[in-house]
Amino acid sequence: EKPGAPTVAELETMRDEAKAAGVTVLMGYNKNVCKYVRKAREYSAENGGTITFVSNNTYENTPASLGECFERNREGMLKNMVIHELALLVSFFDVSVDTIESCTADKDFSSLQTLKGPSGNDFTDFDKIKFTIKTKSGKEVTVVGDRCGGEVSWAAVEKDGKEVFRHSMPDDEDKANVSVLEKEYPGAMPYFFSQDPDYITVKEKVSAQCATGAEAEGVATIDIAVETLRVAEYLT
């Protein structure tokens, strides 16, 4: 389960122990196999342009709702909600602590709050964040996370300042499945429904590797997870 450990040092220890024992460790970064991510990457590879990954969630924009979220996910937004997007950057955009040239925050969009959680203690975190990373090799990618942004996430491609492609999750194909799952599992977080096909894909790929030795293509390794957590700590 992402991010694998609370700190880079702890995750590196896990990685080293696994390697010493000859054990492969794969991570549940399901967005690595998401359809909307794949579609945007394919479009950009074929037509050029820069990608923006937008991750939304459905918390109410109230101090009580966000305060509960901040306390329950006290590792912080960069190590929790948008850690998936950081894993995409590490996996597919050659982003690492060593390759980052710059990280530019959109301060007009981003919002950092200190709120009381159910325990009565104060917790400080982002309720929304936006930043653009440029690498030393010239690659550029933008990440947006909004805890109160709604049920739809997407990846968009821009060229010359204009959006030329967007694919959303859920798309029209996914929505029928979402309706079925909502009835079967009432009260579950909406992202479980929209990302259900991706969870299945990750499990099938990992199961196939266990059974046949075939590489679980696209599934994040623990090495990817270590670098992802390094990037999260670096940005924090």
This prediction's pTM: 0.92
Q: Which two tokens stand for residue 90?
A: 């590490």
Over the stretch 185-196, which tens digit does the pLDDT of each residue have? Answer: 998 887 788 888
Average pLDDT of the segment spanning 196-211? 92
**What b/e readout covers 171-188, taking b as 16+ CB neighbours within 10 angstroms?**
eeebeeebeebeeeeeee
Residue 193: its pLDDT value, please? 85
| C-alpha Rg value of the chain to the nearest Å | 18
Q: How many Å apart are CA 127 and CA 113, to the nearest integer?
A: 7
Cβ contact 43:50 at 8 Å? no
Helices (H), the chain: 8-21, 35-47, 63-72, 83-92, 172-184, 190-194, 196-212, 222-235
Residue 145 has pLDDT above 90, yes or no: yes
Residue 179: which pLDDT band, with cuts at 50, 70 and 90? confident
Over the stretch 1-33, which tens digit does the pLDDT of each residue have? Answer: 899 999 999 999 999 999 999 999 999 999 999
Residues 156, 235, 83, 45, Cα dihedral to 10° = 30
Residue 176 has pLDDT above 90, yes or no: no
Residue 143 has pLDDT above 80, yes or no: yes
Residue 196: its pLDDT value, please? 86
Q: How many Å apart are CA 113 and CA 184, to the nearest integer?
A: 35
Residue 63: its pLDDT value, please? 98
